[in-house]
Amino acid sequence: MTTTRTPGRRVVAVLAFDDVQLLDVTGPAEVLTTANSYGARYDVHIVSATGEDVRTSSGVRLGVDGTPSALPRRLDTLIVPGRRDWRRTVADTELVALAEKLSAGARRTASVCAGAFVLAAAGLLDGRRAATHWELAADLASAFPHVDVQADPLFVRDGHVVTSAGVTAGIDLALSLVEEDHGPDTAREVARQLVVFMARPGGQSQFSTRLAAQRADDAAVRRVMDVVTSDPTADHDLESLARCAGLSARHLGRLFRSQTGMTPGQYVEAVRTEAAQTLLESGGHSVEEVARLAGFGSSESLRRVFQHRLGIAPTTYRARFRTTATAPGAS
């Protein structure tokens, strides 16, 4: 029996299946249903192809609301979570076909983590930019060469399709959907209620730039990284970094890119950006002071880099992330 959409409500379908990652499903569902306490009207349905409950990758059994046939013909949002074994997922032709059918009737489609493989197998990501868990990015690019895979961002929006990185990034994605539908104030209230960051920008890296040093095998490259991270404000041009490494500038550039996937200059900028983020999140510094302390020199340079890397201004970032002190008298 097909249900009737309540006027004004946004019907959201979350497609569940055996061995799905639990938080891929419950994270976005929790964000959207919490938003209902702040004026949103999301009607979230967790469905499976058979209408039967599913067992998640953690072994927890997840109840579903039925089959997709119980959904309205038109959906506001389809959310496709992921399964760690993506090859098994894309081999499930029934699941892929179901995702394609539901997406055709949805205003927008989103995936969490390895859910991007389902959308890719359905042809929904052809010619689009897409994100997935950083460990799976190379697999997604190899298996689906028509997809422009973005290995680093938390989530990527391309038209009516939004894809996110691993697990908790689904919460960031859902908060961004709430912000899109109901504005930043509502999204901020949901984030505070759930005690999570207020919608990390989609362009924010999945992991700290400093962690890249742990993946670099070459001692000279690691030495350069240590020098940069120990003092982001220093004049880290290519020639000075090359002297530190005991290599020619050209050799260091080639070696650094092969080890880390970025140029020395890009690494310096990334480290300075993280330093600025930390200062904006935790301190009372002005944007001008943050720019100087993080090594950007000028507030204009800081704003330009933030806009390019994160898609938002430093002041907007600070408003979203700055620690909120407990109000006087609050318990």
Name the DSSP letter for residue 37: G
Catalytic residue among 16, 78, 96, 113: 113
Helix (H) or strand (E) holding 150: strand 148-150
Token digits for 136?
């799976």
Q: CA 133, CA 156: separation in Å to the nearest integer?
A: 12
Token digits for 26?
């419950």
Q: CA 295, CA 276: separation in Å to the nearest integer?
A: 9
| Percentages of the chain per state (helix, strand, coil), in multiples of 5 | 50, 15, 35
Q: Is 322 exposed, middle or buried (0-12, 13-18, 19+ CB in 10 A)?
A: middle
Is 294:232 a contact under the CB 8 Å cutoff?
A: yes
Q: Give the SS3 label for residue 261.
A: coil
Q: What is the DSSP string of 13-32?
A: EEE--TTB-HHHHHHHHHHH
Please say if 244 is a catalytic residue: no
Q: CA 200, CA 152: separation in Å to the nearest integer?
A: 13
The partner residues of 163 in beta bridges, in order of sequence, read 111, 156
Amino acid (1-letter code) at residue 262? M
Cβ within 8 Å of residue 215, ≥6 positions away: 259, 260
Name the DSSP letter for residue 323: P
Amino acid (1-letter code) at residue 125? L
Q: Give the SS3 label for residue 162.
A: strand
Active site residues: 113
